[in-house]
Amino acid sequence: MAEHTTTPHVPASVSLGQLGDRPLVTARPATFQQQVANSAVVWLALMAYWALTDLLIARFPPGGRPVRPDSWLVHAIFTLAGLAAVWCMHRTGFPAAWDARILAARRLVWPALLGAGLGHLAVAIEEVTGATKILEAQLGESFTVAFPGSLLVYSAGAIVWELVFLLLPVPLLLWLISNVALRGRGQAPVFWVLAALSAAAEPVLQGGSLLGASSGAIGPGTFAAYVVHAYAFNFTAAICFRRYGLLAAVLVRLA
C-alpha cells in the first residue's frame, strides 16, 4: 500500500525566530514548531478530559466492574509520554492533530464512521459468541462497566490505550529506525511494518490474558474472531493516524 499524505512538507529546520509574527498555535501549521504546538494542544486537551473522567469516577463510582481512578503520577507520565510522541510524530511526517487544510470529513468524520462500523461488528461478534458472559461466569464478577459510567471509563481508556499501542511506539520507533539509523531513508516501508506489528500487539497481549482467564471456556473460533477484529480495528487506526494525525486515531477507537 502506497503511503498517502495530505499536508505539504514542513521543514523541521525552521527555528522559532523564523516564525515572525505568525502564531505558534494555529489550525494551519506551516512549520515544525507550529505542528508540534498544534498537536500538543490537542493532546493536552485529551489528557484534561481523562483527568476530568477520573475525578467524576472518584466522586460517582460506576456500577459493574470495579474501576479505580489513576493517580496523578500516572496522569503526569502519560501526558509527558504523549508530548514526546508528538515530537516524534512531526519528525517523521505525521500531520498535525488539527490541521484545517485537511477536510473535516477526512480527519474527523471518516475515522469516526470507521470506528463506529468496527464497533458494531464487535457487538455482532459478542452476540454470536457470548464471550463476555463466558468470562463473567468464569471470573464470578462483572467484566464490563455499567452504563452510564461506562461512557466515561471507556472513552478515557480509549485515549490511554491508543497511546500505549500506537501513538507512542510507532512514531518513536519510526524516528529511531528511519531518521536515526537509516538517516532519513525507508520511512514509508518502516512505518507500514511498525503499523502491522502495533496492530497485533493488543490482540496478542490482551487476548492471551483473556484466553487464560477463561480456563478453556472460550474456544479457538471465538478467540480467532476477537483477534481478527482487534487487528483490523488497530490497523485502521494506524492508517488514520498516518494520514490525518493523532486525533483521527483516537476517534477510531472512541467511536
**DSSP codes, 108-168:** IIHHHHHHHHHHHHHHHHHHHH-HHHHHHHHHTS-SSBPTTHHHHHHHHHHHHHHIIIIIT
Task: Tell me the β-bridge partners of 145.
Answer: 64
185 compared with 220, residue with greater pLDDT: 185
* Whole-angstrom distance, CA of residue 48 vs CA of residue 51: 5
- pLDDT, averaged across the chain: 90
Q: What is the pLDDT of residues 21-45, one digit of tens each?
A: 679 999 999 999 999 999 999 999 9
pLDDT at 21: 62
Residue 8 lies in a domain: no
Which residue has cell 501549521? Answer: 29
9 belongs to a structural domain: no
Give a yes or no: residue 3 inside a domain. no
- Please check the confidence at residue 166 and state whether its pLDDT lies above 50: yes
Number of neighbours of residue 224 by Cβ within 10 angstroms: 11
Whether residue 168 contacts residue 72, with contact meaning beta carbons closer than 8 Å, is answered with no
Give the model's pLDDT for residue 18. Answer: 45
pLDDT in tens, 67-101: 999 999 999 999 999 999 999 999 999 999 999 99
Residue 111 lies in a domain: yes
Beta pairing partners, 64: 145
Position 215 in a domain: yes
Torsion of CA 195, 200, 203, 204, to 10 degrees: -140
Q: So what's the pLDDT on residue 20?
A: 53
| Dist. CA 92–CA 158, nearest whole Å | 24
Distance CA 82, CA 102 (A): 22
Residue 254 C-alpha cell reads as: 472512541
Is the pLDDT score of 142 beyond 90? no
Number of structural domains found in the chain? 1
- Domain range spanning residue 59? 16-254
Mean pLDDT score, 178-197: 97
Long-range contacts of 113-117 (CB under 8 A, 24+ apart): 113/255, 114/236, 114/240, 114/252, 114/255, 115/233, 115/236, 115/237, 115/251, 115/252, 115/253, 115/254, 115/255, 116/255
| 242 belongs to a structural domain | yes
Is residue 2 in a domain?
no
Question: Which whole number is the average pLDDT over 150-175?
Answer: 97
Q: Does 81 reside within a domain?
A: yes
Higher-confidence residue: 139 or 47? 47
**Is 12's pLDDT higher than 60?**
no
Residue 254 has pLDDT above 90, yes or no: yes
pLDDT digits (tens, 9 = 90+) for 127-136: 999 888 888 8
Cβ 236 vs Cβ 252: under 8 Å = yes
